[in-house]
A and B are shown apart, each in its own frame.
Chain A
């Protein structure tokens, strides 16, 4: 059975140890039972061999994605050390949603469901 901590806590397998620590600390703070997050933290950050083994056993985004902001907040200097770039810092946010999925624009254009012809029984 694959019980991969990177999947269980939705961690980035390429994140450096200090970033994993930060993310797992956040998870532990919000968790009813912080023990699980702590156990994973020990496994991933104190045992580099284990971290690599688990990381290689799951899907790895070898490039930064546009769709999701990095789930693990990198510590200062760690990006340069890992050779990876945080798109949130380096580039403006993608503009795909602007004008298309802008909440106010979408909601304003919707008619009231009360007037929806499909719900109008007299049309049946």
Chain B
């Protein structure tokens, strides 16, 4: 092949030029995408540029990047359809994204140690975005299997049999999942930001599988592993809470001893990205302790106990409303928590609203019905007590449906008979016929 640079241009020269171009393209890409101070990519990373060059669009993007402008190359990689792309391109992309994720993680730690809070959050989000796509790429390779197994066989030579090669290939593809699981569990006791980031990513595995277009079997396998890792880390984080609450029940000042444990539950819930398991543990634990306070009418204590975990119950309430069948086991418990919140409330409007919400998620909840019936009757009695001759007609119209609703909700209500009697008196005074 002739070339203007030299009359005896050879195919090796041509290949060398291409390789140098690939290397330059990768350097330009890294300079564009990686945060300042990132360790350079290995020269072998040019395999990504080479794999991208297998398509016309990729070849053009790599060519421009080799000239110093990596923006089209970055855009090309961002738009790679993982579900249909050639495995070598997906593999190169997965390795590149792993190193980009590492670079963001290193920069995030540097920003944290320099106490640059806003930058830390920005870098953490960038890292998550990159790692989420990396997970999708690895899921695709795991699903496709043949590319990694062929490479594994080449790397292993005679040292592993075919089954062992396949296992090693599987492990390589799921390394990212394993690392996330280790990060989540490793930071669980102290609820670290890094572990929180890992938990968020584990929760995105289902999306990653969808983006990668993997089979249902692969998606199920990956999601089960990710969910298991999340549950495991959260369980580690929650370990101390149950013990602390058990001890709190023996303490002389129950509220003082229990509130810190519920505050910790709230922190873990936030750390775990508003995880359902934490909400369920909180509702289980609170119900037991709250009854102790309820029986002695310690409303201030109940309020103090509920304050840190109210948001958890509201989140659980939303889950029950979204999917009542799936959350059937927790509908009544969550309703009871809302009843406690209603009972501890000092604002009459919110007190009523919370009782209504308890019945919305569990219409047959006995305590919910009892409390709401009581609220209806109290309202009816107040209206009748403070009414005047001028407001009598209006008051009767307002009170009648309240008493009817209370009777329907909880016919055994203690104030029901009194309310009915006062309503009849009011009707007589107003000259309205009284029903027998």
Contact = CB atoms under 8 A, between A and B. Distances in A.
State yes or no: do A and B come from one complex.
yes
Interface of A: 1-2, 6-7, 10, 12-14, 16-17, 48-49, 51-62, 65-68, 81-83, 91, 94-96, 98-100
B98 A17 contact: no
Contacts of A99: 6
B179 A1 contact: yes
B172 A53 contact: yes
B10 A94 contact: yes
Contact of A60 (B44, B105, B156): B44
A56 B152 contact: yes
Contact of B164 (A2, A49, A54, A62): A49
B31 interface: no
Contact of A17 (B148, B159, B168): B159
Contacts of A98: 6
A14 B148 CA distance: 13
A24 to B, nearest CB: 16
In terms of DSSP, what is the predominant structure of the interface of chain A? loop
Contacts of B43: 10, 67-68
B221 interface: no
Contact of B42 (A10, A17, A81): A10
Nearest to B16: A66
19 contacts: A1-B105, A1-B179, A7-B42, A13-B44, A53-B168, A55-B155, A58-B44, A59-B44, A59-B46, A66-B12, A67-B16, A67-B43, A82-B157, A94-B10, A94-B16, A95-B13, A96-B16, A96-B17, A100-B5
Interface string B132-176: 000000000000000010011011111110001101110111010
B372 to A, nearest CB: 54
B206 interface: no
B169 A56 contact: yes
A59 B105 contact: no
A44 to B, nearest CB: 10
A72 to B, nearest CB: 12
Contacts of A96: 6, 12-13, 16-17
Interface residues of B, number: 49
Most-contacted residue by chain A among B42, B92, B105, B148 (CB, 10 A): B42
B50 to A, nearest CB: 9
A27 B105 CA distance: 28
Contacts of A53: 168, 171-172, 175
A94 B175 contact: no
Contact of B155 (A10, A51, A59, A67): A51
B6 A91 contact: no
Contacts of A95: 6, 8, 10, 12-13
B416 to A, nearest CB: 66
In terms of DSSP, what is the predominant structure of the interface of chain B? helix
B15 interface: yes
B168 A49 contact: yes
Given A2-B102, A61-B46, A94-B16, 5 more contacts: A10-B42, A48-B160, A53-B175, A55-B172, A91-B12
B12 A14 contact: no
B64 to A, nearest CB: 20
Contacts of B175: 53, 57
Contact of B45 (A17, A48, A59): A59
A55 B16 CA distance: 24
Contacts of B333: none
Contact of B23 (A7, A51, A60, A67): A67
B10 A51 contact: no
Contacts of B20: 67
A59 B92 contact: yes
A14 B155 contact: yes
A49 B155 CA distance: 10
B424 to A, nearest CB: 77
B156 A58 contact: no
Contacts of A81: 157-158
Contact of A52 (B8, B91, B165): B165
B99 interface: yes
B98 A94 contact: no
Most-contacted residue by chain A among B13, B88, B164 (CB, 10 A): B13
Most-contacted residue by chain B among A12, A60, A83, A96 (CB, 10 A): A96
Given A52-B156, A52-B168, A91-B12, A100 B42 contact: no
Contact of B172 (A57, A62, A65, A100): A57
A55 B175 CA distance: 12
Most-contacted residue by chain A among B10, B105, B155, B172 (CB, 10 A): B155
Contacts of B151: 55-56, 60, 62
Contacts of B105: 1
